Amino acid sequence: MLYMKSTYSNNQFYIITEKNFLHLDVIADYICNQSYWGKEMTPDLVKISIENSPLCFGLFDGNPRVNPSAKQVGFARVITDFVRFAYLADVFIIKEYRGRGLSKWLIETIVNEPKLKGAAFQLATKDAHTLYEKFGFQTIDQPENRMLRPLNMKYIHEAYKQTTDK
């Protein structure tokens, strides 16, 4: 699997795609306790989802390559084949850093990543449509031709409980 290693800077802020710099506790806390989409997730499931995603974007106040105590203030992950398909998930900026243009910069960085630039992106959002529209996202054409197998957290928890109980 292709893992890309990129660093982007914007004043004091850095976006890094290397997973070893991610603060998993910050990401899990936000997804499990503050997001509307991850209330049924556990920190272990968040960690597994990150491990299994080929491209994650950590947004930091400071450069974690130089300063290990640089604060992680945002995150996004992309599930992709690096050719035709990409799914954008778990996008967030922590509350005290909102209103600084960081979400726009994060999305701009993601959609301009060279190996993702032409891919068809999908995402689900209930409150950030105008942000994503600025970067070419649009409602799905012909939704009657698309199908979805809904998320079932009960089965996910059962499956991971069985694998960790052994």
Domain positions in the chain: 7-140
Read off the pTM.
0.89
Predicted pLDDT at 142 = 86
* Averaged pLDDT, 25-32: 98
- What confidence tier does 2 reach under pLDDT thresholds 50, 70, 90? low
User: What digits encode the pLDDT tens for the residues 70-112?
Assistant: 999 999 999 999 999 999 999 999 999 999 999 999 999 999 9
Four-way CATH pick for 7-140: 3.40.630.30, 1.10.10.10, 3.40.50.150, 3.30.420.10 = 3.40.630.30
Residue 52's SS3 state is: coil
8-12, 25-29, 102-106: least confident range: 8-12
> How far is C-alpha 78 from the chain's CA centre?
6
Query: What are the distances in angstroms from CA 20 to CA 36, 83, 114, 140, 160?
Result: 26, 25, 21, 35, 23
Instruction: Mean pLDDT check: name the lowest of 90-104, 111-125, 140-154.
Output: 140-154
pLDDT value, residue 144 = 86
